[in-house]
């Protein structure tokens, strides 16, 4: 059996990225202010390199690790307490909703290597999706357009378009059909 030796673990981040993360951390205070400060949060995210569409809402206490790895479409809402651990890119399509306390995690560690190096894969959430409260989405997952992920689900595999899914592990429950007569 090989031994684990974390003393040989090295950072993959340049000094520039490390300094950007420190500066970003200092500006995060506005993320604890009430919902009405969403325009200020959007401004700061854009200032730090996030690509954000029109008419978006970022609620209080949202934690975004690397704004320069965030792409958000138009009319997207991100609820209170969402964490976006985005060492890889996180892409959220138009008119999607990420509900409170959900966790989008692009990174993990390679447990097969003795130094546990950080590894990451992008997350993509399509347009017109609803990610319900406290959902965990893991590295490399793609949520298809129009899909709904039920509360507290753990999503480790990609989900096709227009599905209603839930569970741990998350599974497809049924096709999502939008009732046009109620619109």
How do 77-78 and 97-98 pair as beta strands? parallel
- DSSP assignments along 109-129, one per residue: E-TTSTT--EEE--EEE-TT-
92 neighbors 98 (Cβ within 8 angstroms): yes
| Residue burial 131-145, b: 16+ Cβ < 10 Å; e: rest | bbbebbbbbbbbbbb
Give 8's contacts (C-beta < 8 A, 6+ positions apart): 114, 115
Kindly name the residue from 109, 113, 117, 168 that is annotated as catalytic: 109
Give me the phi and psi of 152, to 5 degrees please: 60, 20
- Look at residues 135, 128, 169 and name the one whose alpha carbon lies nearest to residue 150: 135
150-157 own/partner pairs: CB under 8 Å, 24+ apart: 151/99
Is 109 assigned a catalytic role?
yes
Catalytic machinery residues: 109
């Amino acid at each position: 059996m090989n031994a684990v030796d974390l003393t040989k673990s090295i950072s993959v981040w340049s000094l520039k990225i490390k300094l950007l993360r420190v500066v970003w951390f200092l500006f995060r205070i506005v993320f604890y202010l009430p919902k009405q400060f969403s325009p200020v949060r959007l401004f700061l995210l854009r200032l730090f390199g996030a690509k954000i569409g029109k008419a978006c809402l970022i609620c209080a206490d949202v934690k975004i690790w690397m704004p320069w790895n965030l792409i958000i479409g138009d009319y997207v809402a991100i609820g209170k307490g969402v964490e976006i651990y985005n060492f890889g890119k996180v892409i959220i399509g138009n008119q999607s909703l990420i509900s409170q306390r959900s966790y989008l995690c692009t990174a993990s560690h390679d447990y097969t290597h003795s130094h546990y190096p950080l590894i990451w894969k992008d997350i993509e959430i399509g347009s017109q999706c609803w990610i319900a409260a406290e959902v965990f989405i893991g590295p490399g997952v793609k949520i298809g357009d129009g899909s709904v992920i039920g509360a507290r689900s753990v999503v480790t595999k990609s989900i096709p378009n227009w599905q209603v899914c839930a569970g741990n592990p998350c599974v497809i429950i049924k096709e999502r059909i939008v009732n046009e007569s109620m619109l």
